[in-house]
Amino acid sequence: MKNQRKRGTARFFLLGPQRHRPTVVTAVRALGLSGNDLRVATVTAGWQEREGEDQELRDHLVGSTTNLELYRRAERVFERDPELATAHRERQDLFRRMQAAYRARLRFAIDACREMGRGAELGDDVYRIEWSAAMDAVRDLDRAHLERVREAREAFDERWRPTERDAVARERKEIREILERVNVLAIAGGQVAVLGNRLRLFGIGEMWGGKPVVAWSAGAMAIVERIIVFHDSPPHGPGNPEVLDVGLGWCSGVVPLPHARRRLRLDDRERISRTATRFQPDRCVALDDGSGLEWTGSRWEAWPGTRLLHSDGTVTEMEPSSAGRTPATQEVA
C-alpha cells in the first residue's frame, strides 16, 4: 500500500479509538521507545474544556508526558488578542455557512448517484454509465468545496498572519521548548474541527518537523489531506459523508474512518461502494478498536484487524504487515 505523498521518511501511526482498547503504547514501542527514553508531547485539544482530563493517557504511556494544552492556550490567545478572536469567529461562521450550502447540494448529487446505482445493479448499462457521471458530479462538488475552504483559509492567514501575532508567538515559544525536549507527538481525538484549528493556529507541524506522530480517532482524521466526516445513521440529516475541511496534510493516501463499526453500515454494499469510489485515489480505512496503520517511511502497513473499504462494496481485513503484531490491551511500557 504505497501512496504517501507528503512527509517522506517520517513515521506516522493512525490508530482506532482508545477508550476500550488503548494501543498508543504499542505504537511507541514499535519506535523502540519506552521508560526513560520515552518523552511524549500530547495534544488533547479536541476534548475542549476536558483537555486536562488526561490521566488515563498518562498512565497508559507511563513515560514522561507533557500536554501541550493547545485548547487552553488558544483561549488565552483570544482573550489577549480580541481582534484575532473576532476574525477567527467570523471565519468559523463563514465555514458553517459554506458547509450548509455544500451539504444541501451534496444531498441531491448523492440521491442521483444512489438512483443510478439501483438501475446499474439490475444490469442496465444505461444506468451504469449514468452512475459514473453522477459519481463524477459528486467528486467535482467535493473538490470545489475543498478548494473554497482552502482559499478561505489562505485568505485568513494572509490577512491576519496568526503565528506572527504577539499573543500567539508567546505561546509558540513555550510550545517549541516543549517539542524540542520530546521524541513523540501523540494526538488524541475529540472534536475534529477544534483540534485541527488549534494545531494550525500554533503551527505545530512547522515546529515538529519529521519526528514520529501517533494519532487516533479524530486526531488521525485531522492530519491527513482531507477531513472527511461521516455517520451513516445520524440522529438527524441524510447521513452522507462530507468533506469538512482541508487536513493538515502531514501524511496522505488514506481516509481514516475511526469508529467505523459504530458509524458505518459496513454490510450496505451500495454505500460502501459509493464511499470507496468517491474518495479515490485515497483508500478508505476502517479504524476500529485495536486497529491501526503505520507509515514506515516508505509505505503504509496495517495492524491486524484493520479493514479496507472497496469500490465493489466489500470490506476486507487488510493483510497484516510483517512489522505489525496484535496489540495487547492495556500494554504498558
pLDDT tens for 174-228 read 999 999 999 999 999 999 999 999 999 999 999 998 899 999 999 999 999 999 9
Peptide bond into 241 cis (omega under 30): no
Nearest Cα to 258, choosing from 278, 300, 230, 238? 230
* Assigned C-alpha cell, 277: 469510489
Q: What is the three-class DSSP state of 35?
A: helix
Angle at the Cα of 173 from the Cα atoms of 167 and 174, rounded to 5 degrees: 100
Give me the residue label for grid cell 494501543: 23
Q: How far is CA 25 from the centre of its chain?
A: 20
Give the residues of the chain that fall short of pLDDT 70: 1-9, 320-333
DSSP type of residue 220 = H
Direct distance between the N- and C-terminal alpha carbons of the chain, in angstroms, rounded to an integer: 29
* Assigned C-alpha cell, 265: 453500515
| CA dist list (Å): 241 to 4, 119, 237 | 23, 22, 11
- pLDDT of the residue at 178: 97
Q: What is the three-class DSSP state of 246?
A: strand
Please tell me the pTM assigned to this model: 0.90
* Rounded Cα gap, residues 253 and 284, in angstroms: 9
DSSP type of residue 320 = B
CB contact at 8 A, 319 and 302: yes
